[in-house]
Chains A and B, each alone.
Chain A
Amino acid sequence: MNWQRWIMVIPALVFFAIFAIIPMCVAVYYTGLNWDGLTPPTWAGLSNWVQVFQNGEAWQSTRLTIELMVLCWITQNPISLVLGVFMAGKQKHRAVFGVFYFIPLLFSAAAIGVTWSYILNPNFGLVDSLLTALGVKQPVNWLGSPHLALISVSLVIAWQFIPFNSLLYQGGAKQIPESIYEAAKIDGAGPFRTFFSITLPQLKYTIVTSSVLILTGTLTYFDLIYVLTSGGPGTSTQVLAMDMYKQAFMNNNIGMGSVMAIILAVFGLILSLLILKFTGFNNMESQKEGA
């Protein structure tokens, strides 16, 4: 009955081939072209690859992407964890609070980018006006300083995605059986001890899930950065996805853009393999009693 299995798989395989495998192969082919999208392409061999790495811009974009991933993880994960656990509790008005708090996730990234670029504006922005009112002399240059821009971007991304991640944690925390907490209470554990000895270990796999989502999400993150800084100042926030867009659609250099796309894809592949290997993501077992 082996052939029946294959027949069942065919529709999925066909879609996967059309939308994933074939475009990827075409992209690999494009990396060898010298093509501006207008004139007929000429074969350039490996020169695009050589140029990308000699130029140093690819290294810089890769470094920025890793930096942004780390920043996003640091800003999003701990806060989401605490908020998620809080929302899983039994406090009054918690549900109402939760609804308000979920709103950022409903906005489109473009709207968030435009709004925050106004809020962070160095001359007319809300944040700096408040700081000036509080007596700060020199307004902070949130998006215009090469050192601060990436951090500002990661904070805005955090504002957008903490609600989603805390939702994961809320779900995870609600799954922890009440009986464990009761036992801890009887043993005389305070709220901090309960959090670190019960809640945190029980949420181990939620932490893994949320981290995987944050890291892979940040790797390909583009829209908000495009609206907020367009990769600037200079190239201070030009992550891989931004660089790919710039090469292919602003410089009209499809070959170079494809090189960046392949780098991005390989990067993503390595990242997922590492995560699978080191977190035991593929052999998760339940920690619940009796399960």
Chain B
Amino acid sequence: MKGITKTLFSVVSALTVLAVAAGCGSSSNGSQKSSGKATVTMWSDVSGDAKTAIDNEVSRYNKSQSNITIDSQYFESNAYKQKLQIVMGAKKGPDIFSNWGGGRLNDFIKANDVVDMTSYLKNSKTKYLPSIMKSVTFDGKIYGVPHGNIQQVNFFYNKSLFKKYGLTPPKTWDELLSDVKVLKSKGIAPIALGGGDKWPDLMYFEYLVDRIGGPTVFQNIQEGKPNAWSQPEVIQALKMMQQLANAGGFESGFSSVGSGNGEDAALVYTNKAAMWLMGSWGYTSILSDDKSFIDDGNLGWFSFPAVTGGKGDPADVAGNPSEFYSISSNSKNKDAAAKFLVNGNLDKQNVKDLINIGNVPPVQGIESQLKQAKGGDYMTFSYDLIKNAPYFQQSWDTALSTKTGNELDDDLSKLLINQMTPQQVAADMQKFKN
């Protein structure tokens, strides 16, 4: 009798263990434990050639791994920003999500939605350009790794128009204004601006502030110091922007011209406009829309002019350092995700692929590769600009919080059509602080 009870007991307990184990297996949301395979979902907003480069990188990595599968998914850029905001809010983010670093990433970090990657990145300290990594480093902890292209902002110009009217790329803001005057008198739009999308306006502002006052002006704003928005450097930058617009610096109807749809670029390669301040993707965009314009050597570039008497170093650069991959805290496969980001992301082949499509990956020691590449002169210009920059000013609309960034975009677009004065913009932004 005793023996039977014992047997029965052990059978029951074995069954219980089995049931519990099975239960765990099915409730742990899949793949990882039951088959030993981890599926890592990765979201980004890239498209075209850059998407193909990621696809290749992912499939290469998946083949090399027996127990990790990366599932890379892509979204349209504006929709992606909103989708990301919503899923992160619902704590249902993908394992890896692409982002722009800065204040928007910090919003997620403050909500405990992002994994601290510092320990994973111990052995890859020299892989990435240091000026880029600042955007994902908060309180000394690193929350992401870059991918894709460095996206600094610089002026592009139409060489044939410049030649026709005997102009040279301006080195100072005053030279820029005198070029504007000449072009205007010839019936050419001096500068193409996609003001309908609002964010291109900001590029002038962030550069001017840095050229006039150096990095501290923005740092005061970011730290929310009292009256940071009414610093004289800020007011002066706003005034100079408005002056440029009122002097006819931009094409007619600039506040309804889009940038996302390639309208501003089209003005440059159809010889309607002479200059264009844009991120490095502007080069790729002209390359895909009108390759012959670049092949004929009509596209030139120069860095944002200095402001005479300004405190900022004219070698400072503004823009989006690059896009980053971060891991969300609710991921069930954090280690697998980190493993991919450390080893698979921006591997040698990916760096090569990116350079082939005219992108400059933010990794160290690729100078000679860039020089040999097609379009290497622009890529070398970009890379050197960033490598030698004493300071990289991240775009204010991603460096500050979303709300402040949007309000700034709105106010600047009103400034350019004289619906607001520089003082009103400063007063309005002061209300937002940070």
Interface residues of chain A, those whose CB is within 8 Å of chain B, are: 36-39, 55, 117, 120-124, 138-139, 141-146, 149, 229-230, 232-236, 246, 249-253
Q: Which of B10-18, B249-257, B353-361 contacts A (4 or more CB under 8 A)?
A: B249-257
**Chain A residues positioned under 8 Å from B110 (CB to CB):** 39
Give 9 closest A-B pairs by Cβ, nearest first: A122-B253, A144-B256, A233-B255, A234-B414, A144-B253, A143-B256, A141-B253, A37-B89, A144-B255
Q: Is B45 an interface residue (CB 8 A)?
A: no
Nearest residue, chain B, Cβ from A40: B111
Q: A122-B257, A123-B251, A141-B256 are in contact. List 17 more A-B contacts (CB 8 A).
A: A37-B86, A37-B89, A38-B89, A121-B256, A122-B252, A141-B253, A144-B255, A144-B256, A144-B257, A145-B253, A145-B417, A146-B417, A149-B256, A232-B255, A234-B255, A235-B419, A252-B403
Q: Which of B156-164, B328-336, B405-413 contacts A (4 or more CB under 8 A)?
A: B405-413
- Contact for B196 among A124, A230, A250, A252, CB less than 8 A: A230
Nearest residue, chain B, Cβ from A55: B431
Contact code string B256-277 (vs A, CB < 8 Å = 1, else 0): 1110000100110000100000
CA–CA, A39 and B254, complex, Å: 37
**Chain A residues positioned under 8 Å from B88 (CB to CB):** 38
Q: Is B107 an interface residue (CB 8 A)?
A: yes
**Chain B residues positioned under 8 Å from A36 (CB to CB):** 107, 402-403
Provided the pairs A37-B86, A123-B263, A252-B403 are in contact, do residues A232 and B256 lie with their beta carbons within 8 angstroms? yes
CA–CA, A230 and B196, complex, Å: 8
Nearest residue, chain B, Cβ from A122: B253
CA–CA, A282 and B301, complex, Å: 68
Q: Contact at B86–A246, with CB atoms within 8 Å?
A: no
Q: Contact at A141–B413, with CB atoms within 8 Å?
A: no
CA–CA, A15 and B198, complex, Å: 42
**Considering the complex, which residues of chain B in the window 278-319 have a beta carbon less than 8 Å from any beta carbon of chain A?**
none
Q: Contact at B107–A233, with CB atoms within 8 Å?
A: no
- Contact for B85 among A38, A117, A143, CB less than 8 A: A38
Distance in Å: Cβ of B107 to nearest Cβ of chain A: 6
**Chain A residues positioned under 8 Å from B198 (CB to CB):** 232
**Chain B residues positioned under 8 Å from A117 (CB to CB):** 256, 258
Nearest residue, chain A, Cβ from B407: A251
Q: Is B123 an interface residue (CB 8 A)?
A: no
Distance in Å: Cβ of A239 to nearest Cβ of chain B: 15
**Chain A residues positioned under 8 Å from B255 (CB to CB):** 144, 146, 232-234
Central interface residue in B110, B113, B253, B406, by most chain A CB within 10 Å:
B253
Q: Is B195 an interface residue (CB 8 A)?
A: yes
CA–CA, A201 and B256, complex, Å: 43
**Chain B residues positioned under 8 Å from A230 (CB to CB):** 196
CA–CA, A251 and B407, complex, Å: 8
Interface residues of chain B, those whose CB is within 8 Å of chain A, are: 82, 85-86, 88-89, 107-108, 110-111, 113, 189, 195-196, 198, 251-258, 263, 266-267, 272, 402-403, 406-407, 410, 413-414, 417, 419-420, 431
Distance in Å: Cβ of A46 to nearest Cβ of chain B: 17
**Chain A residues positioned under 8 Å from B107 (CB to CB):** 36, 38
**Chain A residues positioned under 8 Å from B266 (CB to CB):** 123-124
Provided the pairs A38-B111, A232-B198, A234-B413 are in contact, do residues A251 and B406 lie with their beta carbons within 8 angstroms? yes
Q: Contact at A39–B253, with CB atoms within 8 Å?
A: no
**Chain B residues positioned under 8 Å from A146 (CB to CB):** 255, 417, 419
Q: Contact at A232–B89, with CB atoms within 8 Å?
A: no
Pull 14 A–B residue pairs with CB atoms less than 8 Å apart, ordered by A.
A38-B113, A120-B256, A122-B252, A123-B253, A123-B267, A124-B263, A139-B253, A143-B253, A143-B256, A233-B417, A234-B419, A235-B410, A251-B402, A253-B403
Q: Contact at B252–A141, with CB atoms within 8 Å?
A: yes
**Chain A residues positioned under 8 Å from B420 (CB to CB):** 234
CA–CA, A55 and B432, complex, Å: 11
Nearest residue, chain B, Cβ from A250: B406
Nearest residue, chain A, Cβ from B413: A234
- Contact for A37 among B85, B195, B256, B414, CB less than 8 A: B85
Central interface residue in A37, A121, A233, by most chain B CB within 10 Å:
A233
Distance in Å: Cβ of A50 to nearest Cβ of chain B: 12
**Chain A residues positioned under 8 Å from B82 (CB to CB):** 249
CA–CA, A252 and B108, complex, Å: 13
CA–CA, A249 and B251, complex, Å: 31
Q: Contact at A235–B196, with CB atoms within 8 Å?
A: no
